[in-house]
């Protein structure tokens, strides 16, 4: 690997710095590119751990626009489309809603017709896009590390 960090280590190192700022100051403490890269990392981590239900349920769900934009920027158009479709399952007011309001919306979705979000989980897992490799390539190409 000629001295380069592996993709996951590199992505974690860079996004962890952004996460610290995000936790202290919220997304307004980050530049747009930083928020987008962090949002991609958080989306991937949350969806792989517990699906879109978990992603939207947790604080990271407020970064859905940044995640979609970040996925597009790094070349993960398929995942961006899937994330956009999953977000569309929630109300138009989703992004501006509080975490408690998002949780209520998800509870209503699950109660009324089961979790349609799980179909997006499957699409996400089966996507040809590898967000970690794409994030790492973007970080290296833009000398972000």
pLDDT number for residue 42: 97
pLDDT number for residue 110: 67
Q: Is the pLDDT of residue 44 over 50?
A: yes
Q: What is the mean pLDDT of the chain?
A: 87
Helix (H, G, I), strand (E, B) or coil at 104: helix
Q: Quickly name the fold that domain 7-141 has.
A: A middle domain of Talin 1 (1.20.1420)
Instruction: Give the DSSP letter string of 36-53.
Output: HHHHHHHHHHHHHHHHHH
Burial degree of 122 (CB within 10 A; 0-12, 13-18, 19+):
exposed
Sorted by where each begins, the domain ranges of the chain are 7-141
Convert the pLDDT of each residue in 113-122 to its tens digit: 556 778 899 9
Looking at per-residue pLDDT, the higher value among 96 and 80 belongs to 80
What mean pLDDT do residues 5-16 have? Answer: 94
Q: Is the pLDDT of residue 69 over 90?
A: yes
């Amino acid at each position: 690997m000629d001295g380069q960090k592996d993709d996951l280590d590199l992505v974690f190192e860079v996004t962890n710095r952004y996460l610290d700022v995000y936790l202290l100051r919220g997304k307004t403490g980050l530049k747009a590119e930083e928020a987008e890269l962090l949002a991609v990392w958080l989306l991937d981590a949350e969806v792989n751990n517990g699906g879109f239900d978990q992603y939207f349920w947790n604080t990271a769900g407020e970064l859905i626009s940044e995640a979609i934009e970040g996925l597009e920027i790094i070349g993960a158009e398929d995942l961006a489309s899937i994330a956009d479709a999953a977000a569309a399952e929630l109300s138009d007011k989703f992004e501006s809603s509080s975490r408690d309001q998002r949780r209520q919306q998800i509870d209503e979705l699950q109660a009324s017709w089961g979790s349609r979000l799980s179909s997006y989980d499957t699409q996400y897992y089966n996507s040809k896009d590898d967000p970690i490799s794409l994030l790492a390539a973007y970080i290296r190409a833009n000398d972000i590390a």
